[in-house]
Amino acid sequence: MKLSSANIENHLDTVYDAIVVGGGMGGLSAAIYLARYGLKCLVIEKGKGRSLWMQETRNYLGLDPNTPGRNILTHGAKQALDWGADHLRAFVEEVTDEGDAFAVKVKIGKKNSRHYTLRSKYVIAASGVIDVLPELENMQNVYDYAGYTLHVCMICDGFDMWDQKAVVMVSRESQINVAFVLNWFTPYISVLTNGFTVGDEMKQKLANHGYPLYEQPITQILGEDHKMSGVELQDGTIVEATTGLINMGSIYHNQYLKGIEELTWDGENLVTNNMGQTTHERIFAVGDLKQGLNQVTVAVADGTLAATQIWRYIRRSSAPRKWDE
């Protein structure tokens, strides 16, 4: 059932078996499995997540390579609802452990927001990350290319950059190292720092590889119809490139978990076992938020495993169903 501020009051006394924070790839997969195990689950999705921004999915077995993330999300949310999951458009602000259950505080609506607390036995953290983009004066110019020919994920899109002239956009020196991996796909790499100065050792390494370095601020990305032709810098220089990779780090959607002491973090990623269980036995993590490879395939499999382990725990603690009951 779709929940909203209009009907949520009826669900405040429900203790869900699991609340899934984030209705992206991992979260929806988990919800489909949870619902098909007959468990009561609620997916809470804030909107505008990472997979919404994915314009095509070229590496998922059986999917048309042109499938955009938004189609998978729409289809997946419908599937989860059809099997009996609840779905709420809201932002999860905080999760607190009350012993038997979690209190999940949500905010509905950006303006005139309403706040509610929902409860569940298990939590699946499926809230992912979001890529940091270069801050240009006209952000629409960035959105016109990011996710199309200006990529954020080399594993996803390295193939589509093969032997093309590519820019690598970074915000600190260590991020330049991606160029020495990207060169598997293309050696025609120009590095753009958008304003910061690079140390001598890195400068030398780039020079040894023949990769030009530009330290001027970026004015705009050039091209049309989402296809890059180059990048213009503040001093008027135009760096020719038909593709690019933004490697400026990620923002992790994990704030709501920061009050839970039992969790173990690897940087900002959650550490889990091979069923997605964190070091808090009733909190699971799937997809980009957990340690490992940031891929749709992985997030979907993670959702399957986490939901199955939760079902095992709940099933084992439930009385067996007998014919005569």
Residue with Cβ nearer ligand FAD (126 or 161):
126
Map residue 290 onto helix, strand or coil: strand
For residue 51, state whether it binds ligand FAD (rule: CB under 6 A): yes
For residue 91, state whether it binds ligand FAD (rule: CB under 6 A): yes
Residue with Cβ nearer ligand FAD (239 or 285):
285
In the range 249-308, which residues lie near ligand FAD by CB under 6 A? 253, 256, 287-289, 294-297, 299
Q: How many residues interact with ligand FAD (rule CB under 6 A)?
A: 40
For residue 21, state whether it binds ligand FAD (rule: CB under 6 A): yes
For residue 17, state whether it binds ligand FAD (rule: CB under 6 A): no
C-beta separation of 44 from 106 below 8 A: yes
Residues in the chain: 325
Map residue 78 onto helix, strand or coil: helix
Distance CA 277, CA 279 (A): 7
The region of 10-18, 49-57, 195-203, 234-242 touching ligand FAD under the rule CB under 6 A is: 49-57
Residue with Cβ nearer ligand FAD (141 or 216):
141
Q: DSSP strand E in 134-242: where?
A: 150-151, 166-170, 189-192, 213-214, 218-224, 227-233, 238-240
Q: What is the DSSP-derived secondary structure letter of residue 277?
A: B
Each residue 29-48 as x (binds ligand FAD by CB under 6 A) or -, in order, gives ---------------xxxxx
Distance CA 29, CA 38 (A): 15
Residue with Cβ nearer ligand FAD (1 or 251):
251
Residue with Cβ nearer ligand FAD (89 or 203):
89
Distance CA 5, CA 135 (A): 35
CB 230 → ligand FAD: shortest distance, Å?
Answer: 20
Buried b (16+ CB within 10 A) or exposed e, 149-163: bbbbbbebbbeebee
For residue 101, state whether it binds ligand FAD (rule: CB under 6 A): no
Phi, psi of 2 (to 5 degrees): -80, 125
Residue with Cβ nearer ligand FAD (206 or 289):
289
For residue 76, state whether it binds ligand FAD (rule: CB under 6 A): no
For residue 89, state whether it binds ligand FAD (rule: CB under 6 A): no
Please name every residue paired with 290 in a beta bridge, in sequence order, or none if there are none: 270
Q: Exposed, middle or buried by CB within 10 Å (0-12, 13-18, 19+), for 65? A: exposed
Q: Exposed, middle or buried by CB within 10 Å (0-12, 13-18, 19+), for 107? A: middle
Residue with Cβ nearer ligand FAD (166 or 206):
166
Give the residue at shortest CB distance from ligand FAD: 24
Residue with Cβ nearer ligand FAD (24 or 223):
24
The region of 10-18, 50-58, 199-207, 310-318 touching ligand FAD under the rule CB under 6 A is: 50-58
C-beta separation of 23 from 87 below 8 A: yes
Contacts to ligand FAD by CB under 6 A: 21-27, 44-51, 53-54, 57-59, 91-92, 126-128, 131, 147, 152-153, 156, 253, 256, 287-289, 294-297, 299
